[in-house]
Homo-oligomer: A and B are copies of this chain.
Amino acid sequence: MELWYTEKQTDSFGITAKVKRSLHSEQTDFQKLDMLETEEWGNMLTLDGMVMTTERDEFVYHEMVAHVPLFTHPNPENVLIVGGGDGGVIREVLKHDKVKKVVLVDIDGKVIEYSKKFLPAIAGMMDDPRADVRVGDGFMHIAESENIYDVIMVDSTEPVGPAVNLFSKGFYAGIAKALKEDGLFVAQTDNPWFKSDLIAQVNKDVKEIFPVTALYTANIPTYPSGLWTFTMGSKVYHPKEVDASLLPHIETKYYTPELHHAAFVLPKFVQDLLK
């Protein structure tokens, strides 16, 4: 018998991956969680039938969501991750010596539990002394925070299920309040081939709240279209004004100082979404 995981990324297109075995499957309080051992991608976490991360290509997303904002801010001491229960973003954030504390708030404790169990290379830094991992509602945490964080990363699922609020204008306003006066944030904002309306809407909303708004991309093979976008909103610092030659060295497999800038150079049809 051959098992294949098939994900409809749209109603009429998707990916399929050969599965060695299912490692875990459960309906948590918030979503359907599956951990699969695949041939091509190693262990793979899916939520509500969508790939969240795989051992083989996880480095792209986690590096790009962490290093671009952290190298844009000159002194990112206090960092918040909303979502991100697999621990991949925390691992990358902790590569930055300037970070004194990183708080992670994921609504689903089961994601944290099973990532630690089946994705140890991704989740292994969640017990670091500088990491403060909490199970809770990131939207509420943002609503209750004021002038606390230098950098916030929104590492959410797609805008269905528990993450719907994390794509609302009110949420971005809350982020602005939770950030210090020179703070900045980044959110994953899906792909431009199938979700162009979402990208345009988020860009419009963030622009109305933050003086600096910018979109960058990265190639993630197991995500729809292979081209992922990240939207940054910043009160002061501009990601394109970073002097790449001055950035300290960190170990990466995707991010480079040159790519810090190149990632913001968009294909024309993506540029056109932001008009």
Binding site for B on A (CB under 8 A): 6, 10-18, 38-41, 57, 60, 193, 217, 219-221, 224-227, 252-256, 258-259, 261-262, 265-269, 271
CB distance from A1 to the nearest CB of B (A): 15
Are A38 and B15 neighbours in the complex by a CB distance under 8 Å? no
Q: Which of B11, B217, B227, B254 contacts A39 (CB 8 A)?
A: B11
Note all chain B residues with C-beta closer than 8 A to A271: 256
Of chain B, the residue at the smallest CB distance from A219 is: B227
Known: A11-B39, A15-B15, A39-B11. A60 touches B267 (CB 8 A): yes
Of chain B, the residue at the smallest CB distance from A17 is: B13
Note all chain B residues with C-beta closer than 8 A to A41: 13
CB distance from A259 to the nearest CB of B (A): 5
Are A254 and B269 neighbours in the complex by a CB distance under 8 Å? yes
Q: Which of B16, B38, B40, B267 contacts A6 (CB 8 A)?
A: B16
For the complex, give the distance between the alpha carbons of A25 and B184 in Å: 54
For the complex, give the distance between the alpha carbons of A262 and B227 in Å: 15
Of chain B, the residue at the smallest CB distance from A254 is: B267
Most buried by B among A18, A226, A227: A226
For the complex, give the distance between the alpha carbons of A38 and B12 in Å: 8
For the complex, give the distance between the alpha carbons of A225 and B15 in Å: 10
Are B39 and A193 neighbours in the complex by a CB distance under 8 Å? no
Note all chain B residues with C-beta closer than 8 A to A11: 18, 39
Q: Which of B227, B258, B268 contacts A226 (CB 8 A)?
A: B227
Note all chain B residues with C-beta closer than 8 A to A268: 252-256, 259
